[in-house]
Structure 1
Amino acid sequence: MKKILITGSSSYIGTSFEKWLRNYPGKYSIDSISLRNDLWKKQDFSKYDVVLHMAGIAHVSSDPKMEEMYYKVNRDLTIETAKKSKVEGVKQFIFMSSMIVYGDSTVEKRVIDNNTVPTPSNFYGNSKLQAEKGIKTLESDNFKIAIIRPPMIYGKGSKGNFPKLAKAAQKLPIFPDIDNQRSMLYIDNLCEFIRFMIDNKESGLFFPQNREYVKTSEMVKLIADVHGKKIILTKLFNPILKVIGFKSELINKVFGNFSYDQSMSLYKENYQIGDLRKTIELTEK
């Protein structure tokens, strides 16, 4: 039985992963701890095979007053947790980084491949990248480090931009039809991917995503369909959005382009267990 410790007891991915492993009774044992105070430093890590590090600040903020906190939590705390894991004999450390290390979405089509160099555009992305660099120096034959850079994650109970789009899909009669391309990742697909990381004792950089790219307007229409709502997609607003709208951070997040080359996300086992329509239905129902 694999013994797993999840840091970040209230994290969306962590709690979802714990639920997912109930599909495999008897194979895994999971505990979770909060790193919000120093009590975790007294926790015995030696009894765990894997530490799944989920603790961190998950949202993007442009408030300069938050910069120090981002580095303290996302970088320094990650490195400190990895060091403790290694010293106490944990065999594998899995760090949930982010696609945001490559910067922001763009007006023009943008596909990240294996040659793309990370260029964070804010201290959230840079704090994640600095954490990656810090923990990689700890890797050894007896201490494997797997770093996952997922795109936008969605699923039942998810936070961030997806639930906002879901609400818009149920209320708006029309929605802009802009041709964009985004990588996304359904939470159960991610959970199955993490399970394979653990089973196969993986180390390295990983880029899981759904099998299909997402066009925002088509996804919104799909959400509306699931709720029995009608929404009309229109290109009427496209000139305005393209000229003025992409200067807005919000508009860029919704309609910008940000995707991984699909070849980066291939794995020897199938973790992409749900297609877009099925996963939207599971999320919204």
Structure 2
Amino acid sequence: MKRILITGKDSYIGTSFEKWVRQWPNDYQIDTLDTKGDWQSYDFSPYDVVFHVAGIAHVDAKANMEDLYYRVNRDLTIEAAQKAKAEGVKQFIFMSSIIVYGDSSKLGEKRVITKDTIPIPTNFYGNSKLQAEQGILPLQDEHFKVVILRPPMIYGKGSKGNYPKLARLAQKIPIFPDIENERSMLYIENLCEFIRLMIDNEEKGIFFPENKEYVKTRDIVSEIAETYEKKIVLIKVFNPLIRFLSNKFFKINKLFGSLTYDKEISDISKEIYNVIDFKTSIKLTEMR
């Protein structure tokens, strides 16, 4: 049995993973730790794995929160990894993000991240994650394995971020721009299975989990609408205006730009972690 400590109590990813591994009650024991309290006095020594999900997301990042982002996303991560190593934990798993590579492409352009792409964050959220990675990787040795996950947009029932915004939009609007783009995404249960395999295989290194399918923003909206038996008409008439405005408003590129992982780096050939396809994942996410 693997004993796993999740640092970051009540986090979306942490609670989802805990629920996922209940399918194997004899294989995993999960405990959670609230890092907002006196977590430093907690004994890590009984655990095989520390899964570190405590952190601040980028959803509402404000300039006056920059110091807090570095304290939580970088400093707390490094402290937790140092403590895990000192107390004999064998594996430390850190949830980083695709955001360490910067922003989506401009409209009409492709952006594919390969094994040779150098991380260049464009904001302090991404930089705090990258600095956390740089702080924990040197701790790795033959007795202490470090796993860094750089997932793209994670979605699923109860998720936060951009997906719920698209879901609300899909239920309200009758038309949507028909713009060509490609996005890597990751359904929460596919992520949970990936993490389980990381633990079972006692992996180390940097990993790039994603769904099998690249998706277009229009397809996400259309699939969501379909689950509510609603039809959205895709139109191109506003595309020239959207392209013009994308040069002035960053959020348009964030919505309609492209950002994908090369399939070569997101595949782990040992085992299959994409257990839910895209269409099914949308239905499960929007299930009432």
TM-score w.r.t. structure 1 length?
Answer: 0.98
CA distance in 2, matches of 1:28, 1:249: 43
* CA drift at 1:8: 0.6
CA distance in 2, matches of 1:86, 1:40: 15
1:210-232 CA distances to partner (integer Å, 9 max, x unpaired)? 00001000111111111100110
* Structure 1: segments with no counterpart, 5+ residues: none
CA distance in 2, matches of 1:60, 1:164: 11
CA distance in 1, matches of 2:43, 2:179: 52
Preserved CA contact (<8 Å) 1:183 1:209? yes
Preserved CA contact (<8 Å) 2:5 2:33? yes
| Pairing 1:191-206 to 2, within 5 Å after superposition | 191-206=192-207
2:4 pairs with 1:16: no
Which residue does the alignment assign to 1:3? 3
**Which amino acid is 2:158 matched to?**
G
Which residue does the alignment assign to 1:95? 94
Which residue does the alignment assign to 2:54? 55
Partner SS, residue 171 of structure 1: coil
**Which amino acid is 2:42 matched to?**
Q
Which residue does the alignment assign to 1:35? 35
1:56-91 CA distances to partner (integer Å, 9 max, x unpaired)? 001245522111111111000000000000000000
CA distance in 2, matches of 1:95, 1:171: 37
- Give the length in aligned residue pairs: 284
CA distance in 2, matches of 1:121, 1:211: 27
Preserved CA contact (<8 Å) 1:181 1:213? yes
CA distance in 2, matches of 1:147, 1:94: 6
CA distance in 2, matches of 1:259, 1:72: 29
Which residue does the alignment assign to 1:124? 125
CA distance in 1, matches of 2:248, 2:7: 37
CA distance in 1, matches of 2:7, 2:126: 20
| Pairing 1:1-285 to 2, within 5 Å after superposition | 1-37=1-37, 39-107=38-106, 108-267=109-268, 268-285=270-287
Preserved CA contact (<8 Å) 1:60 1:124? no
Partner SS, residue 165 of structure 1: helix
Q: Which runs of 4+ in 1 moved over 6 A?
A: none
Preserved CA contact (<8 Å) 1:62 1:122? no
Identity among equivalent pairs (%)? 62
**Which stretch of structure 1 is more off in the superposition, 125-134 or 53-62?**
53-62
Preserved CA contact (<8 Å) 1:110 1:257? yes
Preserved CA contact (<8 Å) 1:53 1:78? yes
Preserved CA contact (<8 Å) 2:166 2:221? yes
**Which amino acid is 1:282 matched to?**
L
TM-score w.r.t. structure 2 length?
Answer: 0.97
**Which amino acid is 1:279 matched to?**
S
Preserved CA contact (<8 Å) 2:245 2:252? no
